[in-house]
Structure 1
Amino acid sequence: MSDSKPVAPLSVKDLFNSNTQYVVPIYQRNYAWGASEIEQLIQDIYDASGNGESRNIQDKYYLGSLVVYKRELKGNNQQTVYETIDGQQRHTTLSILLAYLKNLKTLDDGELNELQVNLCFDSRPKSTRALEDIYLNDANSKKEEPSIHAAYDIIERFFKIKGLNKAFEAQAFCNYLLNQVTILRVIVPQGTDLNHYFEIMNNRGEQLEKHEVLKAKFMATLESGEETNAFSAIWDACSDMKRYAQMGFKSEDRRAVFGNDWRTIPSSFNAIQSKLGHQKEVQRAMTLRKIIENKSSHSNNDDEEREKEQRFGSIIDFSNFLLHVLKLIVAGDSVSLDDKKLLDAFISKEGRLKVDAKEFAFELLKFRILFDSYIIKPDMSAEERKWSLQKLTSRGNDSSLSPDYPSSFSSEQNPSVNEKIRMILAMFHVSHPSHVYKRWLNHSLAILRQLAKDNSKLHVNGNEYLNALEKLSNDFLDDISKEDGQLNEEVFHRGTGVQNFVFNLLDYRLWREFTAGKSFDGKGLDNIEIKKHFDGFQFSQSRTSVEHYFPQTDPSGADKMGEDVHRFGNLCLISQSSNSRLSNYYPDGKKSFYQENHRAESLKQAIMLSYDEWGPEEQGRRNIERHEKVMIDVLRNRK
């Protein structure tokens, strides 16, 4: 393939050609991808290779673009050198993924051996050295460049959990990655001001999104200006996932549609349309350009109210939410939750919409209000990000209403139900942080629809909701750990191959039982070492790395526990940064670190830290075995 083409589709094998070098310049940020982005990239390739929900193999999978500038080199240099302008994170992750595959002993490594590290960093020699080290399966640079080694660990764990470390599955994945996964390399012209170009690339103007194309397609099917006006008002109000849907309507429309309390939803699309009938008509068949220009035509622009809205984030984006609603109203397993397939999910091969525009808009609004009221949101105003479970209502008198955000279940007889629901939802979310493939969210929305059935205020009973979420957590655990109807404990003893959900579910149940005054391993909240870690406990998205409390190898490289080091009793979930820093410490050193610097990162870990002895011999071994039995019993208990 010629290196001179300004735009060229490259297979991954072509990208890592040994005659080509890519350099990350000084103005680029450090490698910053974490578990969510890395796992999503591999999951997308995994699905495209025929292993996902649809089981359909895509002939080519397009990974995006790599924008580069060809460097003019002096001397007789045989390599072509490109400066990376856009796409560094993706390219670095592919480099780390290839290093992992190269180090698997089960692969036929003929094609892999033809490839080499061809990415380096102008101003960060540690990053260059780290990439070279992982290609050689060497951890020498782990402490000086933990982010690259942490990414390698994330990939290794993904393969273990998916079972892709088996010879056949890994080989098939590798073959697809090298030959069918394609990236579009774009070479900018010589003489380009690279600093200016980079600034443009990172400050792009508003671009047309797939959900805006879908909106135009829906609106073209409507028959009158009143219908398109109502549809556009609902769509625009729902499209900003970082504010409550009612706040997307102008003040007068909000009261007309939702009543003085902002909680009553009309019975149909036509009922909403009639309440918006006083507004100026919108052109029926809007062009895409007009849709972009008028995106905020229905929005509330009250500065005071918008300031209050900014405190909330969202666990999902609008394109993903549209797919959840579609999957729920058509009740079909054929609807993928992958937003890259958004248009295919809604539009048939013949170009027709699969759902009626008015019906979908009404269901979209209902599910958004259920989502806003009864699914957690990140509270961006907190110093340490916490999870919010609050509904929107109004306060004030008829002439002056302002937003109020009480707890979603503040009126329940059991005052702790809101906190329990908040925690179990957070547990589900941090176990599956990516925006796509949130099965738990789809199930939760289905539960909410059933509980709010025939209810104009979409009221949900908190105890019934909590019971349904508890059952859902049991079902998810069964999917992981049951074989032939029996609990298979072996799945808990796989070291880094144990899924995050298992640890997070255990922490939720420990939190719930500690709150009720129970104790485990004979250790309850009367133990100061337990209580200080329990107080203020929150589920964190940064906890993605499985730690061996007694290390796999000590600083001298000795392995003192053998395979038993991977037993569940010796494992807990912590952040990547902590694991990189502490991986080879003995338990006493880890305990000192957490005592001196911050609270434990999980409740299971807090219990482990409270032991005086922990290790492969005598009392240390007995403590591990005792702790493990009690923790697995907590997971067994379905109540």
Structure 2
Amino acid sequence: MGENIKEIKVSELFISVKYEIPIYQRNYAWQKEQIEQLIDDINDMEEMYFLGNLIVNKKDIDTYEVIDGQQRLTTLYLLQKYLKMNISKESLYFEAREKSNKTLLIIGDEIDNNLYDLESYEINNGYKIIKDYFNTKINTEEDIIDFKQKLDNVKLIRIQVPQNIDLNHYFEIMNTRGEQLQYHEIAKARLLSMLATDEDKKIGALIWDACADMNSYVQMNFDTKIRKNLFSNKWDKLCSSIDSFDEIREKVNIEKSDIRTNESKTLLEILEDKKVTHSIKQDEYKENERFESIISFPNFILQVNKAIYFNKDENESMLDDKKFLENMQRNWESKQTSEEFLYNLLKCRVLFDKYIIKREFISEYKDRGKWSLQRLESYNDNKNLKPIYRQTFDGDSDSNKMIRTLQSCLRVTYTSPKTMHWISLVLSKLINNEDTNILHTLENYCRDKIKSSDYKSSKGFSIERIVFTYLDYLLYKKGYSYKNVDLIKDSIKNEWEFQFRNSIEHFYPQNPLDENYYEIWGRDDLDSFGNLALITTSGNSKFSNLPPEGKINSYKDVIKQSLKLIIMKEMILENGGKWSKEISEKHKKEMFKIIDEDIDDLESKDCEYFEEIGSEKKVGVLLRHNLKRITAKGLIERGKIKGFLSLSEIMEAFSETELDKEQIELLDETLGNLGIQLIENLNYDEENFDL
């Protein structure tokens, strides 16, 4: 990247350098919340961590005027002063603020009793907050040493604005934007910097900018000439010959493109307009107003990064935006890694648009939207090729409906972008095989989550949301009959869809309105799964402390939010209009039975599959069950494994396999249940556990 954008260790931030805070910058103003959050972020980090940007104007050799980021910079200075780290004299200096500078020089030098006389209350207060934090939270010598070592792995991005820049214009831009250069913008610059030629950088920027507009199908973000070269005749996939960045280069004649990428923009230009700007004619379409992506572009970048390394690194923090640059840095280690990532970015974006749901705003759904799973195709209107949207699996409308429903189930369950691991899971499968069974993959993902949730023992608010939402999916998929009456009719299915529901509702209220008339239930009965449903926050407010019969009569629209709740309503009607502990318990058992049968059905299918496959794949089935904390109990009880694997078969299967210690122990536990001893018969390196 050169000196204009540079990573700097926080531990080396104030060595042989001088940062000048200009007079037009406001005084130091961070309070306890911001200071403690910064220290928490550092203390919680596990590996490398990026704190943010420091934008500077270079005035002289090793002298920088701080343009943006002075609050964080000053806090880090005070932190290092407290920790008595190596700091150059006057490495932080306030222009024309003598009292502030004297305070910075003397603070932390064991003369705290004189600090108040220096009259820089803000700096003194910041130092005191840091001191109090360490006295209460990081107060042992060992913890302090550990914290100081972490500062070697915490970095800032120092961004140097161009020489001779009009700083007044720059500050006008910064004030208008009110935010720093974003991590994904830095990632783009780093990736492009590794490419060999200006032409490659333009192609890389072309890919990046097209993928950045998440609310339209990526094909429509290229001009017609490039679209024709990159995509198949139907536009629904990349040309079959494109399997690398080199192939994209062959297909794209960049000089004839009407697109102006922002690859060559200066830092100032990026700050003026960080939105993707194309001169593409979107013809008469307004497709970007029709669709809405379920994730942002920065999260999509992290999803792609996780997908392409899925089997090598399944770190849960790979979708954490706080670790954006840390997670992404392997992709700009070389020209090859940068090219590979840019190719995969485009490939995954095409797959994402085709196989991951969106919100669609059209016709009667123009205001509230609906879940959509469609692929883009081209059609000829006798003048030009235009886009048309068809069901992704239009040859199998049931599959399209079920995949759309299950993905919407996951979308409303895992609302934080850093918990949407199901997206990278699907992308990782599709990258290698576009014919992968998405429904099977996602159902197994949900089953894993259900099994690990300890749903049968959990009560009340501790029951994970996935238990409620996946149950609704199963009810949607399989239907449900009560006393020989079909309760989940097609008419209900056709109108019903998953909504964002995050409030666990006690159907029989915790505090009935009329305690003299209504029985007071015990805590276990109230918090039983049979008495609970997941609804919207507004629905929960409407229900309040009404009795169940009042809820079903007064708020029918709220009842329709959950298929489980629809069943509970019908059970009341069949029970003479009353909801009792006995009915609640019966409902709980029946719902758990549906979940159990779904999980058992998976294990049964694995048993049948187990009889047909080779020894290496058999071991893979065992690993999948045990390493994901799905026990092999269902397999073992059916007696379909014992005897299938001889020790020689296991040795053969693992001859080319690398496992860590935990995997070996878990596999040994599983096989031990089958009477097969593993560890004592295998030789592996104690340090690397490489079989």
Q: TM-score range by the shorter chain?
A: 0.5 to 0.7
Per the alignment, residue 388 of structure 1 pairs with 372
Contact 1:395-1:403 within 8 A present in 2 as well: yes
CA distance in 2, matches of 1:570, 1:56: 44
Judging changes above 3 Å, is the alpha-carbon distance between structure 1 residues 60 and 367 closer, same or farther for their aligned structure 2 residues?
closer
* Aligned counterpart for 2:404 among listed residues 422, 430, 433: 422
Q: Which residue among 196, 214, 217 is the counterpart of 1:244?
A: 217
1:519 aligned to 481, 487, 493, which one?
481
From 568, 575, 590, the counterpart of 1:630: 590
Q: Is the 8 A contact 2:303 2:319 kept in 1?
A: yes
Aligned equivalents of 1:619, 1:476: Cα separation in 2? 30
Question: Which residue matches 2:32?
Answer: 11
| Higher Rg of the two aligned structures | 2
Distance (whole Å) between structure 2 residues aligned to residue 244 and residue 513 of structure 1: 33
* Inter-partner Cα distance in structure 2 for 1:201 and 1:522: 66
Residues of 2 paired with 1:218 and 1:473: CA distance?
Answer: 35
CA shift, 1:531, in A, is: 6.8
Deviation, structure 1 residue 272? 1.3
Q: Does 1:447 align with 2:407?
A: no
Q: Which letter does structure 1 place at the counterpart of 2:441?
A: A
Inter-partner Cα distance in structure 2 for 1:569 and 1:347: 48
Contact 2:548 2:579 in 1 (8 A): no
Give the letter for the 1:519 counterpart. S
SS in 2 for 1:316: coil
Residue of structure 2 equivalent to 1:279? 255
Q: Identify the match of residue 490 of structure 1 among 457, 464, 474.
A: 457
Amino acid at match of 2:392: S
Taking a change above 3 Å as real, the CA distance of residues 268 and 250 of structure 1, as seen in their structure-2 partners, is same
Cα offset for 1:472?
Answer: 1.6
Further displaced range: 265-274 or 200-209: 200-209
Say whether 1:377 aligns with 2:358.
yes
Quote the RMSD (CA, aligned, Å): 4.1
Q: Which residue of 1 aligns with 2:475?
A: 510
**Structure 1 segment 141-156 matched on structure 2, within 5 A:** none
1:549 — aligned with what? 507
Q: Normalising to structure 2: TM-score of the pair?
A: 0.58
Query: Is the 1:221–1:357 Cα contact (8 Å) retained in structure 2?
Result: yes
1:590 and 2:590 are equivalent in the alignment: no
Distance 1:549 1:322 in 2: 42
Task: Indicate how the Cα distance of structure 1 residues 283 and 591 shifts in structure 2: closer, same or farther if over 3 A, else same.
Answer: closer
2:444 to 471, 481, 488: 471
Which amino acid is 2:391 matched to? S
How far residue 329 of structure 1 moved from its aligned partner, in angstroms, is 2.0
Q: Secondary structure of 1:403's partner?
A: strand
Matches within 5 A, 1:552-631: 552-555=510-513, 559-595=520-556, 600-612=560-572, 620-631=580-591
Partner-residue secondary structure (3-state), 1:395? strand
Q: Give 1:78's aligned residue.
A: none
Paired residue type of 1:208: L
Bigger RCO (CA 8 Å, 6+ sep): 1
Residues 391 and 535 from structure 1, CA distance in 2 versus in 1: closer, same or farther, beyond 3 angstroms? closer
Q: CA deviation at 1:583?
A: 2.6
Check conservation: 2:446, 2:466, Cα contact below 8 A.
Answer: no
Aligned partner of residue 503 in structure 2, secondary structure = strand
Secondary structure (helix, strand or coil) at the match of 1:391 reads: strand
Contact 1:246 1:262 in 2 (8 A): yes
**Aligned-pair CA distance for 1:322:** 0.9
Following superposition, the deviation at residue 290 of structure 1 comes to 4.7
Contact 1:346 1:355 in 2 (8 A): no
Q: CA deviation at 1:475?
A: 1.4
Distance 1:582 1:447, change over 3 A: same
Q: TM-score, normalised by structure 1?
A: 0.62
In the alignment, which residue of structure 1 is the partner of 2:495? 536
Q: 1:10-48: per-residue Cα shift (whole Å, max 9, x none)?
A: 223999xxxxxxxxxxxxxxxxxxxxxxxxx9xx99987
1:329 aligns with 2:308: yes
Q: Identify the range of structure 1 (354-363 vs 384-393) with the bigger mean alpha-carbon deviation.
A: 354-363
- Do the aligned partners of 2:220 and 2:282 also contact (CA within 8 Å) in 1? no
Q: Shift of residue 224 of structure 1?
A: 1.4
How far apart are the structure 1 equivalents of 2:529 and 2:204? 52
Render the CA deviation track for 1:140-181: whole Å, top value 9, x for unaligned. Answer: xxxxxxxxxxxxxxxxxxxxxxxxxxxxxxx999xx9xxxxx
For 2:389, the equivalent position in structure 1 comes to 405
What percent identity do the matched residue pairs reach?
Answer: 32
Could you tell me which amino acid in structure 2 is paired with residue 547 of structure 1?
Answer: E
Which residue is 1:270 aligned to?
246
Gaps of 5+ in 2: 1-25, 54-67, 72-135, 144-172, 602-691
Q: Secondary structure at the match of 1:384?
A: coil
How far does residue 427 in structure 1 lie from its aligned partner after superposition? 0.6
The residue that corresponds to 1:340 in the other structure is 322
